[in-house]
Amino acid sequence: MSDSDPSPVMAPVIFSRATSSVRPRDTEVVDVDFLVIGSGLAGIYSALQATRHGECLLITKARLQVSNSAWAQGGIAAALDADDDPAQHVSDTLRAGRGLCKGSAVEVLAREGPSRIEEMLELGVPFVLDEEGRPVLGLEGGHGRRRIVHADGGATGQAVVKALLPRLAAAPGLRVWEGARAAALLVDGSACRGALVEREGGWSRVRARATILATGGACGLYARTTNPPTATGDGIALAYLAGAMVADMEFVQFHPTAFALGRPAFLLSEALRGEGAELWNTAGERFMPRYDAEGELAPRDVVSRAVTAEMAATGADHVQLRLDRVPPAALAHFSQLFDTLRSRGFDPQKQPIPVAPAAHFLMGGVKVDLDGRTSLPGLLACGEVACTGVHGANRLASNSLLECLVFGYRAAVTAADRSPSGAALPDAVPVPYLGPEDRHALGEQMFTDAGIVRDGGRLQSLDAYLDTLPASMERTVAGLITAGARARTESRGAHFRADYPREDDGLRCHFVACAGRPLQAEVWE
């Protein structure tokens, strides 16, 4: 703990003050075997797997096509090449995670990853293939081998989601509710029995023998982000308020090369740097070799802080990504990305691209085991909403979509083993959202006080600001991020504190939050 803040850091305890309990007479009751909340790759894929074992309802507060997965421009990492193997993938992931990865989770990710990629090929995902029909493999920062598969001109996430949606529509026993939000989990004191869902101006209480959270991350809380505005950490708030454990919330990854003009920002894939793109400051200097021997292919936390430092030194609000040394054949793989840039008035083959960091990925989330189980029976989680420990303090590039596939599959298999429950459904208190004005102000405050560089004073100020906000999904998640960042009085991976700029071996642990208790430090092997 900081000398200036000796008291135990409490996880926020936030309950809805705005809405009364919704009672059975106010709602319809819907019974299903499995309820999947969220429609990114983890949600879609786990729902497809769950339908093999029973009736499934998938709900999404937006449309099926709107998710972090659909916006993902990177690729999917897997040890597919002859000179690669899962052990090397494990090694690279552990190195990026700065000593906080859960080894068993990383082993599962790397070992099962190639099988999930093969399944995606069988399902028709249009990965870029060579003349012999094998995936063309790219290189990204932190990887010691070429192991990144891509599709559709660099828009890999969109291509994967697009390929799976027809399968979703055709799956027997699967229903989809778009424009439906989970407002609370239904908990009878010992287990999750489903969720209270708001849709079409009314309420439904959905009873399920297993509920799978796949709501994505929370970087939409930040003013500058690569995430869609729907990425507000709803699943984390719902699980926490229902009594489930949440971990590693201080670790928010900022992507170093997001287009610097306009919001939301869209990222310039790390694969561009893998093919030779360089970062220059506005004074005309290539700077990354001064910060790390790996240059532009250093881990994301290193590159993001270097970009931030160069922006401060030059007084500019961006640096430049230059493509002069990228071979023309490699540039052809990023056609969709370049089309987007041209639509914004930039010719990426003739002009340096202005880039700056943006909030991109949350390493923390609802604490789960290797099969997706949370600490609350009946509730599972997968994808970015979950914290398996696989990413540690800093996610290795292109491990996120792979995580959705590997652990989405496991969560669905685990859900299928859960016995049906005839328990009566309890009442629930819906958790509201912030209004637009508060939401905007929170985003600016989060980017300033819980951004790439933090310190104890700014985090305390952020805590005080959060106390002025009404109870809400956003306030709950922002409070969890702030609590973790205050507790971690060191710098590790994506979490950097100017007042504690070095790693502390005594803090090689995970901070776990549970409502009503101080944060607990745990060591995961």
Query: Looking at residues 457-469, what average pLDDT do you find?
Result: 97
* CATH ID of 254-343, from 3.90.1710.10, 3.30.1130.10, 1.10.10.60, 3.90.700.10: 3.90.700.10
State the residue for tokens 């009566």: 424
Average pLDDT, the chain: 90
Q: What is the DSSP secondary structure assignment for residue 506, as one 8-state letter? A: G
Query: Looking at residues 460-477, what average pLDDT do you find?
Result: 97
Q: With bands split at pLDDT 50, 70 and 90, how would you rate the model's confidence at 404? A: very high
Q: For 315-453, where are the alpha helices, taking DSSP H only?
A: 328-331, 335-343, 400-416, 436-449
Query: Looking at residues 381-408, what average pLDDT do you find?
Result: 96
* pLDDT number for residue 6: 39
Q: Does domain 27-247+362-416 have CATH number 3.50.50.60?
A: yes
Q: 380-408 burial string, b = 16+ CB within 10 Å, else e?
A: bbbbbbbbbbbbbbbbbbbbbbbbbbbbb
Question: What is the spatial distance between Cα 36 and Cα 61, in angstroms, rounded to a whole number?
Answer: 12
Q: What is the pLDDT of residues 289-338, one digit of tens each?
A: 999 999 998 888 899 999 999 999 999 999 999 998 888 888 877 877 88
Residue 142, C-beta contacts closer than 8 angstroms, at least 6 positions apart: 92, 95, 96, 297, 298, 299, 300, 396, 397
What are the catalytic residues? 300
* pLDDT number for residue 18: 36
Q: With bands split at pLDDT 50, 70 and 90, how would you rate the model's confidence at 65? A: low
Are 283 and 314 a contacting pair, CB within 8 Å? yes
* pLDDT number for residue 14: 44
Q: What is the pLDDT of residues 204-216, one digit of tens each?
A: 999 999 999 999 9
Grouping H, G, I as helix, E, B as strand and the rest as coil, residue 326 is: coil
Q: Show me where the domains of the chain are located.
A: 27-247+362-416, 254-343
Question: What is the spatial distance between Cα 391 and Cα 368, in angstroms, rounded to a whole number?
Answer: 13
* pLDDT number for residue 3: 41
Please, what sign has the CA dihedral across residues 146, 364, 161, 267?
A: negative
Residue 58, C-beta contacts closer than 8 angstroms, at least 6 positions apart: 36, 37, 39, 43, 44, 47, 168, 174, 175, 176, 177
Strands 379-381 and 353-362: unpaired
Question: What is the spatial distance between Cα 307 and Cα 305, in angstroms, rounded to a whole number?
Answer: 5
Q: What is the pLDDT of residues 38-49, one digit of tens each?
A: 988 999 999 999
Q: What is the pLDDT of residues 72-126, one digit of tens each?
A: 667 899 999 999 999 999 999 999 999 999 999 999 999 999 999 999 999 999 9
Q: What is the pLDDT of residues 424-440, one digit of tens each?
A: 788 888 999 999 999 99
Q: What is the pLDDT of residues 163-192, one digit of tens each?
A: 898 998 899 999 999 999 999 999 987 899
User: Quick one: which H or E segment has residue 483?
Assistant: helix 473-487
| pLDDT at residue 342 is higher than 90 | no
Question: What is the spatial distance between Cα 53 and Cα 73, in angstroms, rounded to a whole number?
Answer: 32
Q: How far is CA 85 from CA 2, 80, 173, 405, 430, in A?
A: 42, 7, 38, 19, 47
Beta bridge partners of 210: 34
Q: 70-104 burial string, b = 16+ CB within 10 Å, else e?
A: bbbbbbbbbbbeeebbbebbbebbbbbbbebbbbe
Are 263 and 223 a contacting pair, CB within 8 Å? yes
* pLDDT number for residue 7: 46
| pLDDT at residue 4 is higher than 60 | no
% of the chain with per-residue pLDDT over 90: 70
Question: What is the spatial distance between Cα 117 and Cα 239, in angstroms, rounded to a whole number?
Answer: 30
% of the chain with per-residue pLDDT over 70: 92
